[in-house]
Amino acid sequence: MKRNVIVAVVVLLIGPALVLAADTDRFAAAKALPNADGLLVVPLEITNSEDLTAMDIPLSFTEGATLEKVEFTDRVKSFEFQAANINNEKRQVVIGLISMVSKQAPDLASGSGTIANLYFKLDPGVNEVTLTPVDLEDPNHSLMFYCNDYSSGQAEVKAIRPEFSAISVSAAEALPMAYALSQNSPNPFNPTTTIYFAAPQAGQVKVAVFNILGQNIKDLVDGYMEAGYHQVVWDGKDRSGDAVASGIYFYKISANNFSDTKKMVLLK
């Protein structure tokens, strides 16, 4: 909560600055890339014509998408304050960046590049995320860049409203380069867990669960699958529909000439 309050206070303090619309300042989402954990990674890119001292970035996102985390890039590593207030119930995130809070720090030099990566988990059947700028109240947030203007002979805060409209990024645009099996989540789990895997080409895929004795408990996937990033849920039951006991289990993927096995723990 403390971080959220700081963002609100600083943004409100610089809010009364002169607001300008600039054709050369833009905010956009670059091409999304699914990662090995089955999350859709959406890079946020900005183009700024002025050296920026702060950014206020409130966004809404698609129903069926859960924002797991926001990671800032080296482009804003000098910013003393970096925060992302995620509210998945309202499907909103407020990103705040301030170059200097308690000590001297350089502004963000003019240019273009990625400032943060958003990691989304998509519900089954959801293949894209739409990002839309929003205006929020209590506290107030609007998509805005801030810079210092010295044209009058003294420093004045100038607010710049960058170009940005709703942008959709698709998980279907990127295919994995190789087969992969990721760690299940959550782990340990009770009673269900999700297993993530990747297939670079269409074909037969088998994902099975084994007990510590190497006995097959249940086949979770056994058939033809399209190329892409996939996930399957195990409900902690065997092939007969009976709940299995607590303990260590293994899951294995077999596809083409690829196979891999990972461990998971069921705790009741």
254 & 211 share domain: yes
d(CA 262, CA 209): 10
**84 and 124 in a common domain:** yes
Nearest to 218 by CA among 252, 261, 188: 252
Of 205, 202, 183, 204, nearest to 194 by C-alpha is 183
Distance CA 107, CA 90 (A): 32
Let me know whether 76 and 121 are in one domain: yes
CATH number of the domain within which 159 lies: 2.60.40.680
Tens digits of per-residue pLDDT, 205-248?
999 999 999 999 999 999 999 888 788 999 999 999 999 999 99
Q: What is the per-residue pLDDT across 30-65, written as a single tens digit (0 to 9) for each?
A: 777 767 677 888 889 988 888 999 999 999 999 999
Look at strands 81-87 and 18-29 and give their pairing: unpaired
Of 173, 199, 218, which one is at a domain's C-terminal end? 173
The partner residues of 237 in beta bridges, in order of sequence, read: 243
Q: Are residues 28 and 160 in the same domain?
A: yes
SS3 103: coil
Instruction: Give the C-alpha distances (Å, rounded to integers) separating 156 from 24, 111, 148.
Output: 21, 21, 6
User: In terms of domains, do 97 and 114 share one?
Assistant: yes
Place of tokens 């007969």: 240
Residue 200: the pLDDT is 87
Provide the terminal-to-terminal Cα distance of the chain, rounded to the nearest Å.
Answer: 33
Beta bridge partners of 158: 18, 147
Are residues 130 and 25 located together in one domain of the fold?
Answer: yes
The structural domain count of the chain equals 2
Q: Hey, what are 197's tokens? A: 């895997």
In a shared domain, residues 142 and 71: yes
Token code pair at residue 268: 């009741």
Q: Does the pLDDT value for residue 166 go beyond 80?
A: no
Do 12 and 134 sit in the same domain of this protein?
A: yes
22 plus 97 within the same structural domain: yes
DSSP 8-state secondary structure symbol assigned to residue 121: E
Cα–Cα distance, 44 to 30 (Å, whole number): 6
Closest by alpha carbon to 118, among 9, 5, 49, 28?
A: 28
Is the dihedral angle over the CA atoms 126, 128, 134, 136 positive or is it negative? positive
Tell me the C-alpha distance between 47 and 31, whole Å: 16
Residues 13 and 48 in one domain: yes
Which among 152, 173, 194 is the end of a domain? 173
151 and 220 together in one domain? no
Which CATH number belongs to the domain containing residue 238 in this structure? 2.60.40.4070
CB atoms inside a 10 Å sphere around CB 172: 12
Contacts of 176 (CB under 8 A, 6+ apart): 34, 36, 198, 199, 200, 227, 228, 229
Q: What confidence category does residue 10 fall into, taking pLDDT thresholds of 50, 70 and 90?
A: very low
From 141, 173, 205, the end of a domain falls on 173
pLDDT at residue number 165: 65
pLDDT per residue over 85-113, tens digit each? 999 999 999 999 998 877 777 888 988 88
Domain that holds residue 214: 180-266
* Residue 65 shares a structural domain with residue 153: yes
At residue 169, the pLDDT reads 76
